[in-house]
Structure 1
Amino acid sequence: MESIDWENLSKADRFEVWLMEMEDVLDRFIEEMPNGLDLDYSPQSLIRLEEWILNQYPTVGNILKEHEKEKLDSLVRYVGQVYRKELAGKWMIQLDHPKKDPFYGLPVVYFPGKNVDEISPHQEVITCVDRRRGDFLYTMFHNVKEENEQESN
């Protein structure tokens, strides 16, 4: 496989490559994770994943270290894919208005045809480490699911 010259790609093109690599990156991630996590893209898997995250990363600083960059990316992808698969979300990235968009430059999941806020899996993963609840990712998912269902009624 030919290596990608990231330096010469626009931010939009980088995002497209990021999307194209999604399946391969997540397959490797799931394969590398402990079997007991049963990462099946279900909402319940977010509880198991968060337990693993909290055991690995005692502080936000730990998960943001340079050598954890790939693992953080995989965690973000996985959490986002749960939303995408379970709630018919779609990935996007906002590259306009950096001062107006709190998620500028970060992949987010939005819900077409719904008046529901987009979610930032990156922010959710970081916040779960900070809050250390054990059910933060699942609770956030459940809240968005309820919002989506109310929007449908």
Structure 2
Amino acid sequence: MERYPTTDEISLQRETHTVDGYARYIGETFRKYLGGKWIIELDNPKHAFYNLPEIKSEFFRDCPLSFVIASTDRRIGHYISDILKNFIDSE
């Protein structure tokens, strides 16, 4: 939260590699706990995460990059872990 005070800051081109690393880490963590695999939707350009990596499991499908950006907007340090805990608890 200190590094990215706004979603505009996290979206800058110079941050691409760092943000990609965050998304990969989050995605692998979700995959570890929820199962599933990485997918990229290429068949439907109207899909919300068209051409972006997603994690898809039996009961979960989402784009880790969206969690990174949303956590910057929400400004709480436990936003992503709360999402993961909610999915684990719902199993």
How many aligned positions are there?
91
Paired with 1:88 and 1:64, the residues of 2 have a C-alpha distance of 29
1:134 pairs with one of 55, 74, 77: 77
Q: Which has the larger radius of gyration?
A: 1
Read off the aligned partner of 1:104 and give its amino acid letter: Y
> As a proportion of its length, which structure holds more helix?
1
Classify the secondary structure of the residue corresponding to 1:55. coil
Say which structure, 1 or 2, has more relative contact order (CA 8 Å, 6+ apart).
Answer: 2
Read off the aligned partner of 1:133 and give its amino acid letter: I
2:21 aligned partner: 74
- Residue 63, structure 1, aligned to residue 10, structure 2: yes
> As a proportion of its length, which structure holds more strand?
2
Deviation at 1:134, TM superposition (A): 1.2
Deviation at 1:89, TM superposition (A): 2.3
What does 1:85-124 align with in structure 2 at a 5 Å threshold?
Answer: 85-99=32-46, 101-111=47-57, 114=58, 116-124=59-67
Deviation at 1:132, TM superposition (A): 0.5
Gaps of 5+ in 1: 1-53
Gaps of 5+ in 2: none
Displaced runs of 4 or more, over 6 A: none
Paired with 1:107 and 1:89, the residues of 2 have a C-alpha distance of 13
